[in-house]
Structure 1
Amino acid sequence: MKRNLRCMYAIALLQGMVFYGPVATLYREAQGVSIAQITLIESISLALCILLEVPWGILADQLGYKRTMIGCCFLYFLSKIVFWQADGFGGFLLERVMLSVVVAGMSGVDTSILYLSRGEQDSQQVFGWYNSLQTAGLLIAALIFSLFVGDNYALAGGLTVLSYGAAALCALGLTEVKSPAPFSPRLTLDILRQTLTNRRLLLFLLSAALLSEAHQTITTFLNQLQYARAGLPDWAIGALYIAATVLGMAGIWSARLTRRTGTVGTAVLLCGGGVLACIALALTTAPLPSICAILTLRLCNTLCQPFLMELQNKQVTTPHRATALSVQAMIIDGVGVGTNLAFGALAEINLSWSFWLGGGICLAGLLLFIIWYKLRPRA
C-alpha cells in the first residue's frame, strides 16, 4: 500500500501546479470573460458539485476507488486542455462543468484511498502530507510563473496541461483498496437517513464546516480588503500571498501537535487561535496586527484540516465509504453556501462586522466540537 501513498502524493503535488493561478482572473478576462460572468460560472460550478456529490459517491462505490480516481484524473487533465483553449464564456463554463464533475467524483475517494492504504495508523500524518504537497505544488508553480512565465498566459496554461497529464499517468499506478460494492437503493437511503439522524455526527460536520468556511472566506477574499484598508502596497500583498501559501505546508506537523495536546486540546488551540485572529481583524486596521492575524488564521486551518479529516474518516463504518463521505460533503457544502452569503452581505455593509461573524463562527465551531467529543461512546 506504500505504492498508493507514493502515487497519491505525486498526484497531489502535480495537481497543485496551476501555473496560471496568480493570474487566474486576468487570464479569463484576457479571453473575453467579464467578472460578472466569472462569478456566474463559479456559482453554477458550486451548485453542480453539491448536486453530484451523492450520485458520484454511489458510483464510486460500485466502480471501485482506483477506477474512479483514474477516471477523474484524466477528466481533470481534459478540463485543463479545455481551459487552455477556451475563448469566451462558453469555453470557460464547459471547463468549470467538467471540474465540478471531477471535484464531486474525487470527493471522499482520494481520502478513502489514503485512509484505507494506511489504516487508522498515522492517517492524520498522511492527510497532512497530502495537503502539504498540494500546497507545495501551488508554490512551485507560482515561483516558476513569477521567474519565467510572466505575462505569457498561453504558456502558463500549457504548463498546467502538462502537469495534470503527468498526474493522470500517476493515477494508473494505484492499486485497489477495497472491492466494489454493489448498488443498493435501500442501502443508499439508509446511509442518508443514518447521517441525517445521527445527532453526534451532524454536530461534528457542522463544527468542521464552520471552522473551514471561516478560514476559506477570510483568507481567500476578505484578506485583500483588509490589506487594502491597512494601506499595504500591491507588492506587499503579493509577498503575503506567498507567505500564506508556505504556511499551507505546515499540515505535516498536525499529527505531532495532536499527539502532544490531545483531541480536545488541539481543537481548543486551533479554533481558539481562529477566534482571536478574527477579533484582531475586527478591531484593527493597522498593517502588522492585520498581517499576523491573517497568517495565524491560515496556520490554524492548515493544522486543523488533517486533524478533522482523520476524525471524519474514523466515523465512517459502512463499506460504502465514498457514498457516506459524499453525503457528509453535501452537508458541509450546504453550510458553506449559507456562510458565504452571510460574510458577503456583512462585508458590503462593514468589513469589521464580517470579521466579528468569523470569530463567532469559529467559537460556535469549537463549542459544537466539544459537545461532539463529550457525546462519544464510552469504552
Structure 2
Amino acid sequence: MKRNIYLMYAIAFLQGMVFYGPVATLYRQAQGVSVFQITLIESISLILCILLEVVWGVIADKIGYKRTMVLCCALYFLSKIIFWQASGFAGFLAGLLAAAAVFSLFVREDYRLLGLLTVISYGLAAVLSLALTDVSPEGSRRISREGFRQVLSQTMCDRNLLLFLVGAAFLNETHQTVTVFLNQLQYEKCGLGNAAIGSIYIGATLLGMCGPVSAWFTKRAGIRAAGTVFGGAAVLSCLTMAVSGSALPSVCGILALRVSNSLFQPFQAEMQNRQVRTEYRATALSIHAMLLDGIGAGTNLAFGALAERNLAAAFLFGAGICAVGTGLFLKWCRNRPCYPQSHQKYHTSDPSSPAASSDSL
C-alpha cells in the first residue's frame, strides 16, 4: 500500500507539471480561439465530468482500480499530445473529448518546447501507473441503483446543504476562471510581458501552498468569521481588478484571490464532509461534485460572454457571485446550530480528495 501511495505522489507530481499554464489563454487566442470559446470548452468539460462521474465508478468496480488508473493516465497522455498540436476551437475541443478535461498550449510557436515537456511528463506518469498494485479495500460496498437514488434524494432535499454547496461553487468557479483564464488578459491589459507573467505564476503557485494555515485560522476565528473572510477577500480581489488597469493592483488582486481560495479549499472540504450522513460517503461526495460542476458550467459561459465584451464586466460578475456565495454561506451558518461560530474542533480534509479543476495553477 505504501508503494502505491508513493507512486500516486509521483504521478500527481508529473501530471502537475503543466509548463504552459502561465500563458494558456494567450496561446489559445493566438490559435484563433476566443475568450467565450475558451470558457465554452471549460463548461463542456464540467458537463462531461458530471456525465462520467458514475461511469468511471462502474468501470473501476468491473476492471479494478489499477486498470482504471492506467486507462485514465493513458487518456491524459493522449489529450496532451492532441493539445500539443491543436489549432482552433475544434482542435482544443478534440483534446477535451479525449480526456474529459480542458487543456491548452502557449503564446508562440517558440514555446512548443514547453508543450513537448508537458507531454513527456504525462507519458512518464502513464508509465508509472503500470507499477501500481490493485487493491480491494476491506468493507467496501457497491451501491445499488436504489441506494444511489436515496443518496441523491437526500442531497437535493437538504436545503441547508444546497446553500453551502451553491455558495462554495460560486467562490470556487470565480477563482478557477479568473486565476486560470482571465488573469492573463488582465496582465496583457496592464502591459506585462511573458517573463513577468511567468514570475507572477510562480508566486501564485507558492501562495497556493498556504492551505494548512486554514485550520489554524478557522480554529481561532470561528467558522462564520473564517468563511466571511475567505469570501470577502474574493469579492475585494475581483473589485480591485475591475476598477484598475495598473499592474500592481491587478497582481495583488490575483494573488489575494489565490490565497483566499487556498485557505477556503480545506475549509470547504471539512464542512462538506461533516454534512455527509450516509454510509455511502463516496457516492454522496460524487453527487456534491456533480452539483458543483453543473453550476460551474453555467458561470463559465457567463464569464466568457462578459469578457468578450468588457473584461471589467467579467470581474464585476465575479465579485457579484462571490458576494452571493458569501451571503449563502452566512445563511447556512444561521441554519446550522450544530456548527458553532467558535471553539469548534477543526481538521483539514483528506489530502487524497480529488481536485475538480481541469486547468490549475
Equivalence for 1:114:
none
Change in 2 beyond 3 A, CA 1:178/1:21: farther
The one of 156, 170, 177 equivalent to 1:217 is: 177
The one of 179, 188, 192 equivalent to 1:228 is: 188
Change in 2 beyond 3 A, CA 1:18/1:335: same
Equivalence for 1:17:
17
Larger helix percent: 1
- What SS class does the counterpart of residue 211 from structure 2 fall into? helix
Matched, 1:280 2:277: no
Show CA shifts across 1:224-253 (max 9, x none). Answer: 222222222332222212221222222232
Change in 2 beyond 3 A, CA 1:7/1:320: farther
| Higher mean C-alpha displacement, 207-216 vs 361-370 | 361-370
Show CA shifts across 1:14-69 (max 9, x none). Answer: 32123455576799999xx8637x85765543332221223434665x569xx447
- What SS class does the counterpart of residue 212 from structure 2 fall into? helix
Identity of aligned residues (%): 47
State TM-score, norm by structure 1. 0.73
**Given residue 156 of structure 1, which amino acid in structure 2 is its aligned partner?**
L
Q: Is the 8 A contact 1:14 1:167 kept in 2?
A: no
Show CA shifts across 1:189-215 (max 9, x none). Answer: 111111111101111110110000111
Equivalence for 1:47:
47
Output the aligned Cα RMSD: 3.6
Shift of 1:291: 1.1
Change in 2 beyond 3 A, CA 1:5/1:300: farther
- C-alpha separation in 2, matches of 1:163 and 1:27: 25
Q: Is the 8 A contact 1:15 1:164 kept in 2?
A: yes
- C-alpha separation in 1, matches of 2:232 and 2:305: 25
Change in 2 beyond 3 A, CA 1:346/1:20: closer
Q: Is the 8 A contact 1:347 1:354 kept in 2?
A: yes
The one of 255, 261, 269 equivalent to 1:309 is: 269
Matched, 1:56 2:83: no
Q: Is the 8 A contact 1:19 1:159 kept in 2?
A: no
Change in 2 beyond 3 A, CA 1:41/1:337: closer
Matched, 1:199 2:197: no
- C-alpha separation in 2, matches of 1:236 and 1:220: 16
Equivalence for 1:165:
126
- C-alpha separation in 2, matches of 1:230 and 1:22: 16
- C-alpha separation in 1, matches of 2:286 and 2:134: 21
Shift of 1:310: 1.9
Equivalence for 1:337:
297
Change in 2 beyond 3 A, CA 1:210/1:9: same
State TM-score, norm by structure 2. 0.76
The one of 220, 223, 239 equivalent to 1:260 is: 220
Matched, 1:298 2:258: yes
**Given residue 160 of structure 2, which amino acid in structure 1 is its aligned partner?**
R
- C-alpha separation in 2, matches of 1:360 and 1:272: 11
Q: Which runs of 5+ in 1 are unaligned?
A: 104-144
Equivalent runs, 1:359-374 vs 2, <5 Å: 359-374=319-334
**Given residue 208 of structure 2, which amino acid in structure 1 is its aligned partner?**
G
Change in 2 beyond 3 A, CA 1:339/1:93: closer
Change in 2 beyond 3 A, CA 1:206/1:259: same
**Given residue 282 of structure 1, which amino acid in structure 2 is its aligned partner?**
A
**Given residue 236 of structure 1, which amino acid in structure 2 is its aligned partner?**
A
**Given residue 350 of structure 1, which amino acid in structure 2 is its aligned partner?**
N
Change in 2 beyond 3 A, CA 1:2/1:257: farther
Q: Is the 8 A contact 2:148 2:283 kept in 1?
A: yes
Change in 2 beyond 3 A, CA 1:259/1:280: same
Matched, 1:79 2:76: yes
Change in 2 beyond 3 A, CA 1:327/1:178: farther
